[in-house]
Amino acid sequence: MKIKAEIIRGLVKNVHPYGCRQEVLNQIDYCKKAKQFNGAKKVLIIGASSGFGLATRISLAFGGSKADTIGVSYETGATDRRLGTAGWYNNIFFKEFAEKEGLIAKNFIDDAFSYEVKEKVIEYIKKEFGKIDLLVYSLAAPRRKDYKTGKIYNSTIKTTSGEFTGNTIDISNDEIVMKKVSSATPEEIEGTKKVMGGEDLEEWCYELLKNNCFSDKAIAITYSYIGSPKTYKIYREGTIGVAKKNLEETVLRINKKLSEEIGGRAFVSVNKALVTKASAYIPTFPVYAAILYKVMKEKNIHENCIMQMQRMFSEKIYSGSKIEFDEAGRLRMDDLELREDVQREVDELWKKVTPENFKVLSDYAGYKNEFMQLNGFDVDKVNYDSEVNTEILKKMIP
């Protein structure tokens, strides 16, 4: 069959496996040519199959450090009815390329929130992989089952202080649409905190510590976002912001524990706004990101996930110098996004942007291109007129 993108209600509903393969290759090529670093050699990444987690994994394996990696993610493969998810294929092709270079690339495709997966990963570390010197937690999930009680918690993108109407991008029709978001109930705030806050990361860290799976001075990193005041109401001061603040507070606790027990440390990296599967759902965020892309590209300081992760490791974490943190102990990879001149120009465009002119005033083309590439479409060097054998896809295992 030939695979063409199916865009329904602003979402890409299918995947091009060989487009994903080429995207993984492109990221590998970028890392090989970029400034190299020598850092962690044994790494566990939770949320490793797309966005920041995948870029983290590629950077650590191919950006100089030659790390062996374990990736945990929640993805599905090809069936008779569907081709599966992009992350499924990202895992498959990452593994193929990593193994070609003699690196270990083990995938666990299951619910990271469950005890069972934690146990399986720990057993694998103890019996085969060896102690980890870096844990990266890059999960973005819509819901979480609490395995103690069986209760399901949902993550909600709402404000915590009154109704909010913000624009967002509908890529099905290439237009800006207004989206109204109501204020969250206490239960929705709690649910978002449960899914996207720090509890699960803390469980992972304590289980790994208890089972002696960290090497001395190991590091744990997780990702957060702060962004500009334009998105505060829906992000930093919304439900997701409550969860992120909880994550940041939890990391301070984990940091203390890692430091006391193994001389290690835990910190949050505050990353830049980027197009990923998760961020496209947040009202206002896509328009802000498309304007930000334009401004940062004009200044030649735009970074996609892989560029940002490679810079994080080569220039901040494993540069050989002391890692610099902000007053709250966070690494600031959003330094370029929040530069005064960048935000001033974004503000100017933000005030002028309308449904009629947004394609000119923002980098909508670049935004859409990155969005399509997340599912393997619009990728250079991929022939979308070629027949794809789905029987071969069904046999592929990550």
Binding site for ligand NAI (CB under 6 A): 47-53, 72-75, 87, 111-113, 138-141, 223-225, 271, 273-274, 276-279
Q: Which is nearer to ligand NAI, 111 or 190 (by Cβ)?
A: 111
Q: Which is nearer to ligand NAI, 223 or 267 (by Cβ)?
A: 223
Q: How far is the CB of 195 from ligand NAI (least distance, A)?
A: 9
Does 225 qualify as catalytic in the annotation? Answer: no
- Integer-rounded Cα Rg, in Å, for the chain is 20
Q: How far is the CB of 278 from ligand NAI (least distance, A)?
A: 4
Give the CA-trace dihedral at 94, 95, 98, 99, to 10 degrees.
-160
Q: How many CB atoms lie within 10 A of CB 304?
A: 18
- How many Cα atoms sit within 13 Å of 299 on the Cβ side? 19
Q: Which is nearer to ligand NAI, 231 or 255 (by Cβ)?
A: 231
Q: How far is the CB of 250 from ligand NAI (least distance, A)?
A: 13
Three-class SS state of 163: coil
| Residue 34 and residue 60 in contact, taking contact as beta carbons nearer than 8 Å | no
Three-class SS state of 67: coil
Q: Which is nearer to ligand NAI, 150 or 262 (by Cβ)?
A: 150
Question: How far apart, in whole angstroms, are the C-alpha atoms of residue 58 and residue 182?
Answer: 38
Amino acid identity for residue 21 in this structure: R
Q: How far is the CB of 302 from ligand NAI (least distance, A)?
A: 13
Q: How far is the CB of 397 from ligand NAI (least distance, A)?
A: 16
- Only one residue has tokens 């987690």, namely 53
| DSSP E strands, the chain | 7-8, 11-12, 42-46, 68-73, 105-109, 132-137, 143-145, 152-154, 164-170, 175-181, 214-224, 265-270, 331-332
3-state helix, strand, coil in the chain (%, to 5): 45, 15, 40
Tell me the CA distances in angstroms from 28 to 34, 192, 314, one per residue in order. Answer: 10, 34, 15
Catalytic residue, candidates 137, 235, 318, 364: 235
Q: How far is the CB of 287 from ligand NAI (least distance, A)?
A: 13
Q: Which is nearer to ligand NAI, 224 or 284 (by Cβ)?
A: 224
Q: Which is nearer to ligand NAI, 65 or 138 (by Cβ)?
A: 138
Tell me the CA distances in angstroms from 192 to 66, 118, 119, 205, 284, one per residue in order. Answer: 36, 22, 25, 21, 19
Catalytic residue annotation? 235
